[in-house]
Amino acid sequence: MAPTNRQGSGGNDRGKERSVNKRGGTGRGSNTPQPRRVADDNRRGGAGGQPKSGAAGGKDRRPSAGTGRPDRRPTTMRNTERNEREKQEGVRLQKVMADAGIGSRRHCENLIEAGRVQVNDERVTEQGMRVDPDTVEIKVDGMRIPTRPAETYIAFNKPTGVVSTMYDPDGRFTLADYITEFEQRLFHVGRLDTETEGLILLTNHGELSNRLTHPRYEVRKTYLASIQGPIPRDLGKRLKDGVELEDGVARADSFRIVDSVGNNYLVEVVLHEGRKHIVRRMLAELGFPVERLVRTQFGPIQLGDQKPGRTRRLSNDEIGLLFRQVDL
């Protein structure tokens, strides 16, 4: 499947396009407010341009130079001063939470008052705290939230024929061809072989990417495999007990038959190892070569009904679950 321009599509960022009302015109039925018409002589102070009755002798009532309300400072100047103040003093905690998508500032204040917010593992219950979004760790109900606006977390449904790299010297389609709308440099979390479909995570959070693929954290991956039967009743046990491969014994965490039509079987294999072609090799070693393989889940993140070739941003809840999975 060739990559397409998916900017603004339903699979990306789930943001709703803003609708602009272009109906204009004047008169009845127009949605555009019209200025209230005022007679020229009224605007000028009466007929013939004379001052209106009650005006103080017709004198110009505008404040003279040096009196009255001073002009406001330019917006850019005010924004610059605010940014400098935030760099020195930090940003209010509820603003950082709201910017991370937790909710309105008032909702975030309620979470703080309820004792549901931790800052660097210390529970906060009072308003007014300022933090540095680039270094602080904030948790809501024990789940970490992203505080750096530049952090990106993407779920991609890789089609067959796509190489799990950002560049291919042979000119084949790569992951980079499908994420052109994201400006940040992204890391792919693990790999899928070229003919395997399904879920790949991408992020620019290097530590998270490293931990999700490190054997220490035993992050489980779920696969659906199409194989030919009949299937012996002990196939699941044999997979979980361990299959001897050329690079060592590989074990599945779980196995089940999802569906079957005649001798065509759809089975689910869950394992936390990440060796190359491991699911295909395990099943082939036991006499069941895989005809089609799809990864449907990586840790707590599910593929769901996401279409091949589409990307989507992870929700704050999903990001928090990933951090919790690897003790971040």
Q: Which domains, and CATH codes, for the chain? A: 80-144 (3.10.290.10), 153-215+302-325 (3.30.70.580), 220-298 (3.30.70.1560)
If you average pLDDT over residues 1-29, what whole number do you get?
39
Contact 178, 172 (CB under 8 A): no
Q: Can you give the pTM of this predicted structure?
A: 0.62
Active site residues: 193
The per-residue pLDDT for range 251-283, each reduced to its tens digit, is 999 999 999 999 999 999 999 988 889 999 999
Contact 286, 240 (CB under 8 A): no
The per-residue pLDDT for range 203-239, each reduced to its tens digit, is 988 889 999 999 999 999 999 999 998 999 999 999 9
Residue among 193, 217, 222 at smallest CA distance from 281 = 193
Cβ count near 235 (within 10 Å): 19
Phi, psi of 226 (to 5 degrees): -95, 120
Residue 230: cis peptide before it, omega within 30 degrees of 0: yes
Q: How many Å is the Cα radius of gyration of the chain?
A: 31
